[in-house]
Amino acid sequence: MTDRTYRAAPSGALRIEPLGELTAIFDRRSMQTHLVVSPMPEILEAVGAAPCSAALLVSRLAATFDLAAADDVQPVLAERLGELTAMGLVERA
Amino acid sequence: MRHRIRIAVGPVQFRIGSDWAEPIAALERLYARYPQDDARPADATVRLFAARPWRRWLRPSVHIGGDFIVPDALPLPLSMGLLAAEMGMNLQVALGWRRHMLLHASAVAKDGRAMIMSGESGSGKSTLAALLGEGDWRLMGDEFTLIDPEGGDAFAFPRAVSLKNEAIAEVAARVDPSRLGPLLAGTPKGDIRHLIPRPEAVAAMHEPARPALLLFPRFGGETAIEPMGEGEAFVRLTEASTNYVALGEAGFAALTRLVREVPAFGISYPDSAAGIALVEQLWAETAR
Amino acid sequence: MSAVRTLVDLLARRRDPATLAPRDWDSVIGVARSEAMLATLAHRLADADLRPTVAALFADQRTAAKVAQRQALWEAEMARRALAPAGIEFVLLKGAAYAAAGMSCAAGRQIGDLDILVLAHDIRRTENLLLKAGWEWVKSDPYDDAYYRQHMHELPPMIHKARDRMIDVHHTILPRTHRITPDALALVSDAVASGASFAVLNPADMACHCAAHMLADGDLQGGLRNLWDFHTMTRDFAAVDPAFWGKLDARADLHGLRGPVRRAARLARDLYGAVLPGGWDRQDPADRWFRRRLLARDDWGRVTNPLLEQAFYIRSHWLRMPPAMLAKHLWTKWRKR
Which DSSP string do the residues of B153-164 spell out, in sequence order? -EE---PPEEEE
Residue range C283-295: mean pLDDT, rounded: 90
Q: Which of B229, B235, B249 sits opposite A35 (nearest CB)?
A: B235
Whether C95 contacts C110, CB under 8 Å: yes
Q: Which residue from A minimizes the CA distance to C67? A: A31
Name A27's bridge partners: A14, A32
Position C1 scores a pLDDT of 83
DSSP state of C153: S
With contact defined as 3+ CB pairs under 8 Å, the chains touching A are B, C
Please tell me the distance in Å from A32's CA to the nearest CA on chain C: 8
- Cβ partners under 8 Å of residue C90, min gap 6: C79, C80, C83, C116, C117, C118, C126, C199
The count of structural domains within chain C is: 1
Closest C-alpha among C83, C72, C185 to residue C130: C83
pLDDT at C147 over 70: no
Chain A CB within 8 Å of residue C196 CB: no
Determine phi and psi for C106, rounding to 5 degrees: -75, -20
Q: What is the pLDDT of residues A20-34, one digit of tens each?
A: 989 999 999 999 999
d(CA A26, CA A15): 5
DSSP state of C214: I
Position C153 scores a pLDDT of 61
pLDDT at B245 over 50: yes
- Cβ partners under 8 Å of residue C282, min gap 6: C262, C266
d(CA C235, CA C249): 15
pLDDT at B217 over 80: yes
d(CA A32, CA A48): 21
Q: pLDDT band for position B131 (50/70/90)?
A: very high
Range with the lowest mean pLDDT among C1-10, C231-240, C319-328? C319-328
d(CA C10, CA C6): 6
Whether B78 contacts B20, CB under 8 Å: yes
Residue range A60-78: mean pLDDT, rounded: 81
Q: Cα dihedral sign for C92, C94, C100, C102?
A: positive
Closest C-alpha among C207, C128, C217 to residue C181: C217
Q: Which of A15, A20, A21 sits opposite B252 (nearest CB)?
A: A15
CB contact (8 A) between residue A19 and residue B260: yes
Q: What angle do CA C313, C223, C210 make, to 5 degrees?
A: 100
Q: Which of B40, B247, B248 sits opposite C22 (nearest CB)?
A: B40
Task: For residue C131, list chain A residues with Cβ-Cβ distance below 8 A.
Answer: none
Q: pLDDT band for position C326 (50/70/90)?
A: low
Highest mean pLDDT among A52-61, C147-156, C236-245, C295-304: C236-245
Task: For residue C78, list chain A residues with Cβ-Cβ distance below 8 A.
Answer: 88
Q: A6-43 burial by CB neighbour count: b if 16+ within 10 A, else e?
A: bebbeeeebeebebeebbbbbbbbbbbbbebeebbeeb
Task: For residue B238, list chain A residues with Cβ-Cβ distance below 8 A.
Answer: 33
Mutation target among C34, C57, C111, C303 for the B interface, most CBs of B within 10 A? C57
ipTM score here?
0.91
Q: What percent of chain B has pLDDT over 70?
A: 99
Q: pLDDT band for position C219 (50/70/90)?
A: low
d(CA C230, CA C218): 15
CB contact (8 A) between residue A17 and residue B256: yes
- Cβ partners under 8 Å of residue B249, min gap 6: A15, A26, A28, A31
Q: Which of B232, B252, B260 sits opposite A33 (nearest CB)?
A: B252
Q: Give me the residue spans of the domains in chain A.
A: 5-88
Which residues of chain A approach chain C closer than 8 Å at the C-beta? Answer: 28-32, 86-88, 91-92
Residue C74 vs residues A33, A88, B147, C65, C196: alpha-carbon distances, Å: 13, 9, 27, 14, 11
Q: Which residue from C minimizes the CA distance to A88? A: C78
Q: pLDDT band for position B71 (50/70/90)?
A: confident
**Burial class of residue B111 (count of CB atoms within 10 Å of its CB; 0-12, 13-18, 19+):** exposed
Q: What angle do CA B78, B83, B88 make, to 5 degrees?
A: 105
Q: pLDDT band for position C221 (50/70/90)?
A: low
Mutation target among A15, A28, A31, A37 for the B interface, most CBs of B within 10 A? A31
pLDDT at B192 over 50: yes
DSSP state of A40: H
Q: What angle do CA B172, B173, B174 make, to 5 degrees?
A: 90
Q: Which of C61, C64, C301 sits opposite B45 (nearest CB)?
A: C301
- Cβ partners under 8 Å of residue C54, min gap 6: B41, C25, C29
Range of the structural domain that residue C225 is part of: 3-336
Q: How far apart are the first and last CA of chain C?
A: 38
